[in-house]
């Protein structure tokens, strides 16, 4: 990537823009037209990014030189773009019209409706990673559409997590769903075993969502309560599949289908829109620009929508598990950095915590500021309606303050340098369709940047070594193994832990 002609142009452009303040760029009124992009009511405002028309053209040239259009076409054509696992990537098919009209989706919907009509007061989803972050985030995002039993998510192997969720629950009226692609994930299966013991005589009512249905059957889940999904659906891209079952129970199949349709609309845009006006392409290229040419190592995602408060955690896994790589898709060492550190929190609370560092700290952090222009599921009037207007005003004000700043050389503590980039992403209201569209946008942003960086955004071998060493450490704690491959300090710590547990 860095050896392309476009990269050389981008390095020159970065050197020039380092000496140009955003307040001067924003003095050009045309930026509000030329750098604002739309898909229906979704608007992506790039005017506060440190880019010019020349920068964007060079980024599009970089896309051309790295074969981005061909890679996108291969993705949608079902080619095996996940080379290390020799798989196609098919999570987009999970939200298409064919899937929404399929027998598999009908079966999933029927089960969800059965649970919603039954004498079930609580549903507990046990999963981790993509089997937890995505569904939990969507459940929170669609809180105004909840109409099913109480829904709980358990991910941590810390027994207090499951214990606290099951406290005061009735085993006879609780459905436990075990969500695991392989049905072997250590944390999930340990929690599943604890939940099975808690259910006692009602353990037969457990359900499973997995790409390994035979393993689930062998574990003891009834075949008619196992919901399959394809191996080509990666965990962090899986909430659209049967992994979304708890959400479907929570909000109903029709609402869930509306969310899928929103994601499918973004898929169509990503596949067909010219690169120069393609929202995921532009945002993905900007991620490369900020990371590799502006030298910005982190990226903040700040939703000004309380119901989207879990979106930063979901996006963190999405980007960092996908693109946290130091070798190319073919296994060659990379000469450039890849994923930024993704982090964030919901506004306006974050303004009173870490925004101090964003405005006056030494590190520049590019932000995505996300805001619906009107509330969803709330019939607001008077002071209530005013509160949402205050929310929107705060979102815009933060972007403006970060970009323009407020020079005060006489009082350095009150000096705001500004020149800090952000993107404002806005839409009408956080309907299921809008939420699905937004999440698909972020998925494709990750894919675009991964394609340009030349990495495989669809495997995650980096999570495996820790799992292996955890098993070794567990064996040492149980006194059943010689600690080969574990450092002396770890052996000492494990010994003290074992002694503490015996006392």
The strand pairing partners of 228, in sequence order, are 210
Pairing of strands 298-303, 367-372: parallel
Q: How many CB atoms lie within 10 A of CB 408?
A: 11
Pairing of strands 42-45, 422-427: antiparallel
What are the structure tokens assigned to 135, written together?
């569904």
Alpha-carbon span 439 to 448, nearest angstrom? 14
The strand pairing partners of 207, in sequence order, are 177
Q: How many CB atoms lie within 10 A of CB 307?
A: 22
CA count, 13 A, side-chain hemisphere, 475: 13
The strand pairing partners of 370, in sequence order, are 303, 425
What are the structure tokens assigned to 20, written together?
């140009």
CA count, 13 A, side-chain hemisphere, 6: 20
With CA atoms as reference, report the closest residue to 347 among 315, 376, 380, 371. 371
Pairing of strands 207-210, 226-228: parallel
State the catalytic residues: 321, 352, 467
With CA atoms as reference, report the closest residue to 286 among 422, 435, 419, 398. 422
């Amino acid at each position: 990537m860095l050896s392309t002609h476009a990269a050389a142009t981008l390095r020159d452009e970065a050197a020039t823009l380092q000496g140009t303040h955003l307040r001067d760029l924003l003095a050009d009124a045309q930026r509000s037209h030329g750098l604002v992009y739309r898909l229906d009511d979704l608007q992506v405002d790039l005017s506060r990014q440190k880019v010019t028309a020349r920068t964007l053209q060079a980024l599009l040239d970089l896309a051309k030189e790295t074969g981005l259009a061909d890679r996108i076409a291969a993705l949608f054509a079902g080619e095996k773009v996940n080379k290390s696992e020799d798989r196609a990537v098919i999570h987009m098919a999970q939200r298409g019209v064919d899937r929404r009209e399929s027998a598999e989706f009908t079966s999933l919907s029927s089960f969800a409706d059965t649970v919603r009509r039954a004498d079930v007061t609580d549903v507990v989803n046990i999963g981790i990673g993509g089997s937890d972050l995505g569904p939990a985030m969507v459940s929170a995002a669609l809180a105004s559409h909840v109409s099913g039993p109480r829904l709980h998510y358990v991910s941590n192997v810390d027994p207090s997590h499951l214990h606290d969720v099951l406290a005061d629950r009735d085993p006879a009226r609780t459905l436990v769903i075990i969500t695991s692609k392989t049905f072997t994930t250590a944390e999930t299966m340990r929690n599943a075993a604890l939940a099975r013991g808690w259910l006692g005589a009602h353990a037969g009512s457990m359900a499973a969502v997995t790409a390994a249905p035979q393993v689930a059957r062998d574990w003891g889940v009834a075949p008619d309560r196992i919901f399959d999904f394809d191996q080509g659906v990666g965990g962090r891209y899986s909430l659209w599949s049967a992994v979304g079952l708890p959400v479907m129970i929570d909000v109903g199949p029709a609402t869930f289908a509306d969310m899928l349709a929103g994601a499918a609309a973004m898929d169509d845009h990503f596949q067909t829109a010219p690169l120069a006006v393609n929202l995921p392409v532009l945002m993905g290229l900007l991620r490369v620009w900020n990371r590799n040419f502006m030298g910005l190592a982190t990226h903040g995602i700040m939703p000004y929508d309380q119901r989207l408060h879990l979106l930063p955690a979901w996006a963190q896994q999405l980007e960092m598990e996908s693109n946290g790589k130091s070798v190319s898709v073919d296994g060659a060492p990379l000469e450039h950095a890849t994923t930024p550190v993704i982090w964030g929190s919901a506004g306006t609370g974050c303004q009173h915590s870490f925004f101090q560092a964003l405005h006056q700290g030494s590190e520049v952090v590019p932000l995505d500021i996300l805001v619906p222009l009107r509330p969803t599921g709330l019939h607001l009037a008077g002071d209530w309606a005013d509160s949402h207007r205050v929310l929107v005003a705060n979102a815009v004000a933060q972007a403006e303050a970060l970009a323009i700043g407020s020079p005060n050389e006489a009082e350095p503590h009150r000096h705001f340098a500004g020149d800090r980039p952000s993107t404002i992403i806005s839409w009408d209201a956080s309907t299921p369709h809008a939420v699905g569209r937004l999440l698909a946008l972020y998925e494709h942003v990750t894919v675009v940047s991964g394609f340009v960086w030349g990495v495989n955004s669809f495997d995650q071998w980096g999570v495996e070594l820790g799992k292996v060493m955890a098993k070794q450490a567990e064996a040492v704690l149980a006194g059943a193994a010689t600690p080969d491959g574990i450092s002396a300090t770890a052996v000492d710590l494990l010994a003290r832990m074992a002694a503490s547990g015996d006392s």
